[in-house]
């Protein structure tokens, strides 16, 4: 796969803001979280198909389409004052660190199996989901 100049994440965020902005694309501006559900599902199916076919060039493209969906939903949420893409990334970072104490926490020198990682992940997730 030959790529042009690599894109940077802030550049993609800016492009999405422009597309969804007042002088952007009319179709993009008309979309809602609900109207985009079918596209998110379709892109997830296409990622799955590319993985099963071991079609890595297509997988890169389809993952980009999933990323577009994340950017699109995040931009709409930001425009409505709900959250931003930075909030999405912060929540993800914190979750990854919190759910991997064997890598990032006090137990980072501890050697555990994949099965134990899954068991602990479920416990941590259950604690996070308890009513606050």
pTM: predicted TM-score of the whole model, two decimal places: 0.87
Does residue 98 lie within any of the structural domains?
A: no
Query: Residue 34: inside a domain, yes or no?
Result: yes
In a domain, 37, yes or no: yes
Given this model, what pLDDT does residue 106 score?
A: 80
Domain contains 73:
yes
Lookup result for tokens 């109207």 = 35
Average pLDDT by consecutive 10-residue portion of the chain (132 residues)? 83 97 96 97 98 97 97 97 97 93 81 91 89 66
CATH number (domain holding residue 73): 1.10.287.1080
Distance CA 23, CA 26 (A): 8
Q: What pLDDT sits at residue 1?
A: 61
Domain that holds residue 19: 9-82
Burial code (b: 16+ CB inside 10 Å, e: under 16) for 102-124 equals beeeeeeeeeeeeeeeeebeeee
């Amino acid at each position: 796969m030959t790529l042009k100049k690599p894109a940077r994440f802030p550049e993609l965020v800016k492009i999405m803001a422009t597309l969804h902005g007042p002088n952007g694309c009319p179709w993009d501006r008309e979309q809602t979280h609900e109207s985009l559900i079918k596209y998110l599902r379709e892109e997830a199916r296409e990622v799955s198909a590319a993985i099963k076919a071991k079609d890595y060039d297509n997988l890169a493209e389809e993952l980009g389409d999933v990323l577009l969906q994340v950017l699109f939903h995040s931009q709409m949420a930001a425009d409505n004052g709900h959250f931003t893409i930075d909030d999405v990334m912060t929540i993800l970072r914190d979750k990854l660190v919190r759910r991997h104490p064997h890598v990032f926490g006090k137990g980072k020198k501890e050697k555990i199996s994949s099965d134990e990682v899954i068991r602990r992940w479920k416990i941590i997730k259950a604690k996070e989901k308890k009513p606050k």
